[in-house]
Amino acid sequence: MKMHLIYPGWPKLERQTEFHLPPHGPVVFAAEVPEDVEILFTDDNLEDTELDSSADLVALSVMLTCQLPRAFEIADAYKEIGVPVIMGGIAVMLHASEAELHADSIFLGEVEGRFGSVIQDMKNNCLQKKYDFLGDPPDISLVGTARRSILKNDLYNYRGVQMVDLMHASRGCRFNCMPCCVGYLGGKKLRARPLSKIIAEIESIPNNRLFLVDNSLAQDREWLKTLFTAMIPLKRKWISHPIMYDPEILELAARAGCWYVYQAVIDDSDTIRDRIRMLKDHGIGIEGTVLLGLDSHDDNYIKRLVDFLLEEEIDMAEFTILTPFPHTPIRKKLEKQNRILSNNWLEYTCDKVVFQPALLSPDKLQEMYHYAWDTFYQGGGHQLRMGNLFKKVIAKEMDDGTYLRYNPRRRRTFSAQSSTDDKY
C-alpha cells in the first residue's frame, strides 16, 4: 500500500527572511504509520506537489489555518482522480467542519496507537468519515521517535547552513493565553514524555542543533531540572519557546545547550527587562516575539516597544499582528464585540490585520507592523542578525568540541562508508 503524505504550503511572514524548518507534525505522524505502508512525502513549501495516481491514500498534515486553502486545493485535485484523502493535524482540529467538505476522512486528535486501525479500515474499504479523539489524548509514553527518514534533508538549509531539527519532550500547556488555541487542542495540562524516550530521540538525531517545540518550558520546575540535567552529556544546542525564569533552571538550561529562546515581549516593563537580562547573563540568545495590535496599543506604544527592544539589544525580533484564530479566547471576545473583519484564512498569517483594533485603524496597525520590522532591522538587517546568532552557536560548539562532530553535511559525505561516520 502506498500513501502520499503532504505538508501543504503557506505564505510566510512579510519582511521576515524566508527559511524553512523540517516539518514536525508529519514526521511524528509518520512514526505511527504501519511499516507495510510505503510513504511518499512532499513538503509543498519547497517542492512541486505532483499528483500520484498510483497512491492508495493521500494524507494531508495541516498545522496552520493559513495552510488550509492549499490543503483543500490538493485534496480536491486528488479526489477528482479518485484517490481517497484523509486530513489531520492542528488546523484540521480547529476547522473540522470545513475540512470534512474536502476530505474523505478527517482525523481529530493525537494519532499515537490509533492509525493502524485507520489503515485497517482503509484496507477493508470502510474508511470512516471522521475519527474523533479530540479531548482524549493517548498515553504520552506511546509517543516514539519521529520518522525523520521520510524528509529530504538537503531541502532544509539556508544558504548552506543546516537548519535545526525539531523535536518535543512534552505536550499540553497549563497556561491559557488569549491568542492561543493549545488549550482547545486538548492540552490544558503538561504531559511530559518519559525521559528515556526523549533522550533516545535526541541521540537518534545526527544534527547538533535542535528546536524543542514544546509549548512552554516554564511549567514544571522539577521536571525541567531532570530534563536539562539528563541533556547535559548529549551536548546538543537548542532553541525553545519561553523557559522558566529561575536562576537554577536557566543555569541548567545553559549547561544543557540552550542556544536561544523565543521570549514573548508584551510590554517594556521591568519584568520583561529582567527576563531579557537573565537570559543574557546565562549566555542564552533572545528572539523577541512581539504581538502588535492589543487593545492597549496605539502608534506611540508600538514605537516605544521597538525602542525598548533596541535599547535592550536583543538578538532578533519577530513582529506579528494579533490574529483571532478559531478556538482562542481572543476570537470569542472579538466575535462578541463584532470586530472580526475577515475570515479569509489566507490572510491569517499573522502579518495582516483581520480585526478592528481598539486604538488604531486597521491601516495604521498594518503600517505600524511594517514600521516595527523596518526600524528594528535598519542598519543591521534580518539576515545579518540571524548570522550573528549562528556565530554564537558555532562558538559554543567550538568550545565543547561538537562543531565538526555533529556536522550533518559530513554525515552525508561519509554515510556510505561506515556506520560510525554515519552517526558523527
28 near ligand B12, rule: CB under 6 A: yes
Find the binder of ligand B12 among 13, 140, 266, 294 (CB under 6 A).
Answer: 13
18 vs 21, 45, 104, 146, 410, CA distance in Å? Answer: 10, 11, 33, 25, 25
**Near ligand B12 in 144-163, by CB under 6 A:** none
Strand partners, 291: 320
Binding site for ligand SF4 (CB under 6 A): 173, 175-177, 180, 182, 215-216
Could you say which of ligand B12, ligand SF4, none residue 216 binds, taking C-beta under 5 to 8 angstroms by partner kind?
Answer: ligand SF4
260 near ligand B12, rule: CB under 6 A: no
Find the binder of ligand B12 among 8, 9, 88, 186 (CB under 6 A).
Answer: 88
Give the dihedral sign, CA 200/204/205/208: positive
23 near ligand B12, rule: CB under 6 A: yes
Between CA 258 and CA 275 the distance in angstroms is: 15
Find the binder of ligand B12 among 55, 91, 227, 239 (CB under 6 A).
Answer: 91
Could you say which of ligand B12, ligand SF4, none residue 175 binds, taking C-beta under 5 to 8 angstroms by partner kind?
Answer: ligand SF4
86 near ligand B12, rule: CB under 6 A: yes
Q: Are the beta carbons of 102 and 85 closer than 8 angstroms?
A: yes
Q: Are the beta carbons of 65 and 348 closer than 8 angstroms?
A: yes
* Cβ within 8 Å of residue 129, ≥6 positions away: 100, 104, 105, 106
Find the binder of ligand B12 among 6, 37, 55, 64 (CB under 6 A).
Answer: 64
Between CA 183 and CA 197 the distance in angstroms is: 25
42 near ligand B12, rule: CB under 6 A: no
Angle between helices 299-311 and 362-376 (to 10 degrees): 10
CB 281, min distance to ligand B12, A = 26
CB 272, min distance to ligand SF4, A = 15
Strand partners, 26: none
Judged by CB under 6 A, the number of residues near ligand B12 is 38
The window from 76-84, 176-184, 271-279, 386-394 that contacts ligand B12 (CB under 6 A) reads 176-184
29 near ligand B12, rule: CB under 6 A: yes
Could you say which of ligand B12, ligand SF4, none residue 110 binds, taking C-beta under 5 to 8 angstroms by partner kind?
Answer: ligand B12
CB 364, min distance to ligand SF4, A = 26
25 near ligand B12, rule: CB under 6 A: yes
CB 414, min distance to ligand B12, A = 27
Neighbours of 109 (CB within 10 A): 19
Q: Are strands 209-212 and 165-167 parallel, antiparallel or unpaired?
A: parallel
The window from 80-88, 299-307, 376-384, 404-412 that contacts ligand B12 (CB under 6 A) reads 80-88
Residue 401 three-state SS: coil
Could you say which of ligand SF4, ligand B12, none residue 25 binds, taking C-beta under 5 to 8 angstroms by partner kind?
Answer: ligand B12
Find the binder of ligand B12 among 99, 127, 151, 166 (CB under 6 A).
Answer: 166
Find the binder of ligand B12 among 42, 49, 162, 320 (CB under 6 A).
Answer: 320
CB 182, min distance to ligand SF4, A = 4
Q: Are the beta carbons of 104 and 85 closer than 8 angstroms?
A: yes
Strand partners, 161: 158
112 near ligand B12, rule: CB under 6 A: yes
79 near ligand B12, rule: CB under 6 A: no
Q: Cell 536557566 identifies what position?
A: 250
- Per DSSP, which regions of 2-124 are E strands? 2-7, 38-43, 57-61, 85-88, 105-108
* Cβ within 8 Å of residue 90, ≥6 positions away: 25, 62, 63, 64, 181, 185
107 near ligand B12, rule: CB under 6 A: yes
Q: Are the beta carbons of 88 and 8 closer than 8 angstroms?
A: no
Give contact residues for ligand B12 (rule: CB under 6 A): 12-13, 21-26, 28-29, 59, 61, 63-65, 86-91, 94, 107, 110-112, 166, 168, 180-182, 213, 215, 318, 320, 325, 349-350
